[in-house]
Amino acid sequence: MATTMTKAAAIIRLPADYAERVYAGVLGKLIGVFLGRPVESWSYDRITAAHGEVDHYIHESRGMPLVVTDDDISGTFTFLRSMPDNGNDPNLTPQQIGNTWLNYIVERRTILWWAGVGNSTEHTAYVRLKSGVPAPASGSIALNGKTVAEQIGSQIFIDGWGMIAPGDPELAADFARRASSVSHDGEAIYGAQVVAAMEALAFVESDLNRLIDVGVSLIPADSTIARLIADVREWHATEPDWRRARELVAANYGYDKYIGACHMVPNHALIILSLLYGDDDFRKSLMIVNTAGWDTDCNSGNVGAILGIKNGLSTIDDSPYDWRSPIADQLYLATADGGRGITDAVRETYEIVNIGRALASESPLRPKDGARFHFSLPGAVQGFTAAGSGVTLDNFEGHSAAGERSLAIRWDDERPNTPVVATTPTFIPHEAIVMPGYTLLASPTLYPGQEVRARLKAHPGNAGLVEVRLHIAYYGEGDAWQILTGSPEGLRPGHEAELRWRIPELGGAPVAAVGIEVQPSEAGAGAVFLDWLTWDGPPQVTFQRPEGTSDMWRRAWVDGADQFQSRWPDPYRVSQNHGTGLISQGTADWTDYRVSADIAILLAKEGGLAARYGGMRRWYVLLLCDDGMVRLLKDREARETLAERPFAWALDRSYRFSLSVRGNRIIGEIDGETVVDVVDETDPLLVGGVALIVSEGTISSGAVHVEPLS
């Protein structure tokens, strides 16, 4: 029967290989989504006619990049943030998860399929939430009707909820119920519960049939999902050909019977079918679910996650096909939190693992003292790729001072006499500027004024000295990459060094990539080992329009307003017709800093400058308001006025706004005069970026400056 838990108990024991198994699940999800995305919504007949069996990446044949923005990925890793955002409370409510939607979704731009109320289930639920209908009513059959409420979205976003409950399928199913009910109801919740429960149990149980048995036991026995699982299992027992079984699925549970844009029931049937007929083989299972058609990327992502968790990294790495190298751990999260937009499978793995550890009353893991790139999981490269021929990268067990693994940067005898360069993206890479389907909204993760640090070791067998230096690329004239490097340091064979470099001011141009440059002094093959690379601290940066012709400086701002265009002489002209709009930039690494900007209100209900920005509904803002007041507001799912006072101001005049944030103290100034000085005693916002905010009108600014506090 369906679980009716309302109070989740803490998880008692975590598997010894918890982090590695989560990593395998995350990789399985990514591989499945990227494999299925080029044929999403295609029929079986169309897929087989065009591609035969989809058992390898086919993006190039469709003219698509491999690593893409996708609702399956963005929703999975973003909605789970409701846990840490609410103190990893095991009693997290659907309403709190709904608030997470409102905070991280930019309306009509990110995460969801924006196909209209009554057509897209998630769009429908978002409109309900925004209008004040809380979850779970926002996703209910009573409000949205059975057809809309039972589409596939709840299942495609659910994998993380199984991963935070290893070995506890009942808890995973209960989390899945709460998360799904934000946007879905009925059979859609049951399907999500089965997937999440199977994933949770897969950490401790390798028998697929046992996973299915437990998953089904947690939903109503008379549900359609339970019935279709029983049918598919019966067909599998009597029919050896998966293609014939697929025909039976289409005949009994096809789109002609379960209508809507993309119904849960037919696609859940294909997940079960591919798992049963896949013979526990990663490649075969993904081939079946992608060749079978319908919502291929969604179904394939769930299958890949289940098998990754159940069988570990070996199920991926032992495949005769190289699934991992083309992805290089890269993924994009297009959300209102632009600083998390450019991420990787390792970082997202540890975000999930640390939620699970919190639920188990364990302290968080911070490999290599919290370094951003630490390569601590087998095969991890964290987005690093090598430029030029004769250079390879691989995860190496050894040569780490604070861990067990490092990134080996190797060159061979045939390498041209040019520096060896290995970099990872810090902002939207060239291949993702124009993205099919979902535009990638993201901010850089690295900024001028921040200090980059890295530890390297030269291979003992190198022929001679190698010269190493830190390296960045940034978007310059015409949005071409320009290169800057730090000071060189010589490394003799077997020796190590820690490099440090403070990124200089770039005139408003965003940093696109960071990495290592190596120049060998002698001919021949060699290697260096990157133990870790990281940076921290607030930036010292002026956001402005760079000289010349470019656009990526503007793309560095997450656009959450009705109008933010580059056509005006003032770089930052932001308009919002109804409600509140904003543009934002920065990361959760920023803690104490001062942000300032000259802002003119052209016509608006209110407008101003925000600090500690963490989403559409998480920030402090200093506002000039049309009732003749200056106010300091805090938004943390609900707005609160922290301070206000009369302040005479005029339209079209520029005022110098400043916000200084140190700990829980916020000081606001206008034209050098302190207008608010507040200590926020209740659940203060302690990290985040900056934003320009306007309600019902237009504001203008020429530049925004961020600097450390003295």
What are the residues facing 533 on neighbouring strands?
A: 373, 454
- Please tell me the predicted confidence (pLDDT) of residue 2: 39
Query: Strands 481-485, 606-615: parallel, antiparallel or unpaired by DSSP?
Result: unpaired
Q: Grade residue 3 by pLDDT with cuts at 50, 70 and 90.
A: very low
Q: How far apart are the first and last CA of the chain?
A: 61
- Please tell me the predicted confidence (pLDDT) of residue 459: 97
Confidence (pTM): 0.97
3-class secondary-structure state, position 84: helix
Whether pLDDT at 8 is above 70: no
513-532 as b/e: b if 16+ CB within 10 A: bbbbbbbbeeeebbbbbbbb
- How far, rounded to the nearest angstrom, does the alpha carbon of residue 217 sit from its chain's CA centroid? 32
557-707 carries CATH number 2.60.120.560: yes
Domain spans of the chain, in order of start: 18-59+67-331, 366-537, 557-707
User: Could you give the CA distance from residue 76 to residue 30 in angstroms, rounded to a whole number?
Assistant: 11
**Average pLDDT of span 663-679:** 98
3-class secondary-structure state, position 29: helix
Whether pLDDT at 214 is above 70: yes
**Average pLDDT of span 400-405:** 95
Whether pLDDT at 6 is above 70: no
What are the residues facing 47 on neighbouring strands?
A: none
- Please tell me the predicted confidence (pLDDT) of residue 10: 53
Asked whether the beta carbons of 285 and 274 are under 8 A apart, the reply is yes
pLDDT tens, 101-137? 999 999 999 999 999 999 999 999 999 999 999 999 9
366-537 shares its CATH topology with 557-707: yes
Q: Grade residue 11 by pLDDT with cuts at 50, 70 and 90.
A: low
- Please tell me the predicted confidence (pLDDT) of residue 1: 36
Query: What does each C-alpha distance from 104 to 20, 221, 252, 589, 601 come to in angstroms?
Result: 28, 36, 38, 17, 26
Peptide bond into 504 cis (omega under 30): no
The contacts of residue 616 (CB under 8 Å, 6+ apart) are 102, 103, 104, 105, 106, 336, 560, 582
Tokens of 609: 């400058």
Q: Is 449 left (phi over 0), alpha (psi -120 to 50) or beta?
A: left
Whether pLDDT at 539 is above 90: yes
The contacts of residue 336 (CB under 8 Å, 6+ apart) are 103, 104, 105, 106, 110, 441, 558, 560, 584, 615, 616
Q: Which of 446, 428, 690 is nearest to 584 (CA)?
A: 690
pLDDT tens, 85-110? 999 999 999 999 999 999 999 999 99
Mean pLDDT, the chain, integer: 96
Q: Which of 691, 41, 692, 703 is nearest to 339 (CA)?
A: 691
User: Could you give the CA distance from residue 604 to residue 601 in angstroms, rounded to a whole number?
Assistant: 6
pLDDT tens, 404-427? 999 999 999 887 788 999 999 999
pLDDT tens, 215-245? 999 999 999 999 999 999 999 999 999 999 9
Helices marked H in 497-577 — which ranges? 552-555
Whether pLDDT at 9 is above 60: no
**CATH topology (fold) of 18-59+67-331:** ADP-ribosylglycohydrolase fold (1.10.4080)
Q: Considering the domain 366-537, what is its CATH architecture?
A: Sandwich (2.60)
User: Could you give the CA distance from residue 568 to residue 336 in angstroms, rounded to a whole number?
Assistant: 24
User: Could you give the CA distance from residue 2 to residue 6 in angstroms, rounded to a whole number?
Assistant: 12
Tokens of 68: 């893409």
Asked whether the beta carbons of 181 and 94 are under 8 A apart, the reply is yes
Whether pLDDT at 450 is above 90: yes
Q: Grade residue 352 by pLDDT with cuts at 50, 70 and 90.
A: very high
Percentage of the chain lying above the pLDDT 90 cut: 94
Q: Grade residue 444 by pLDDT with cuts at 50, 70 and 90.
A: very high
